[in-house]
Amino acid sequence: MSIQGKHIIVTGGGSGVGKATAHKLAKEGAKITILGRTEEQLKEQNLNYKLCDVTDEKDVEKAFNMARIEQGPIWGVIANAGAATSLPFKKFNQEHLQSMLAVNLIGVSNSFHAGLEDMLDKNDGRMIVIASTAGLKGYAYSSAYSAAKHGVIGLVRSLALELANVGITVNAICPGYTETPLLEKAILNIKEKSKISRVEVEKILLKGNPQGRFIQTDEIAETVLWLCSNAARSVNGHTLTISGGEI
């Protein structure tokens, strides 16, 4: 099965993993709509795009409806939009927790829900979330982020069972630390707060990866493409780690 002509929406498509994934799928012939909050980044991709805040259910529904009108029924949703903020638990508050849940869990639910109707009409489709190894293990100073990612893994596993008999698969990709603008921001933040060198920060982050390197966005994009293929039609409710052996 080819993805040629199939309409796939990629959230957080303006940079990093979302950008790499959107362009990979487009190269393989899919009709792509990318969603994001920064129009300048979206415009640079030369792909169909819609401004959208995935944490806002009505905003997501509006963006999906507009995409549907322009490029046809939605066959796949790649829920990539996410955010990560490190904070010691002693400084943890409800606002921090809600901010992590909003984009990393509720945003995924909103995106999957908005694309579901078209998939049910055709008894065919793919739902893929770009989660994290933090959805499978804990990390210090990331309790809210890890809780949100654990939550989205639960969503994936439950939804996969619910939709298993109607031709729709639901899976999660769980990368380790990936070389993206989000990681760069985290490195600079740790460097500033800890007063240590960039090399030392990178050593700390890579300590858990047996390969001793950061994951690259093209590795994740290729995995998304495989999950969209017919070869992965029985892969359902799975958490596929890309972490160099960390998990």
pLDDT tens-digit profile, the chain (247 residues): 589 999 999 999 999 999 999 999 999 999 999 999 999 999 999 999 999 999 999 999 999 999 999 999 999 999 999 999 888 999 989 999 999 999 999 999 999 999 999 999 999 999 999 999 999 999 998 999 999 999 999 999 999 999 999 999 999 999 999 999 889 988 988 888 889 999 999 999 999 999 999 999 999 999 999 999 999 999 999 999 999 999 9
For residue 212, what pLDDT is reported? 96
Element (H, E) at 77: strand 74-79
- According to the model, what pLDDT value does residue 65 have? 98
**49, 139, 141, 145: the active-site residue:** 145
Domain 7-177+215-242 listed as CATH 3.40.50.10420 = no
> Dihedrals φ, ψ of 17, to 5°?
-65, -40
Reported as type and span, the H/E element at residue 149 is: helix 143-163
Does the annotation count 139 as an active-site position?
no
For residue 201 the two structure tokens come to 């920060």
Residues 85, 157: Cα–Cα separation, whole Å: 25
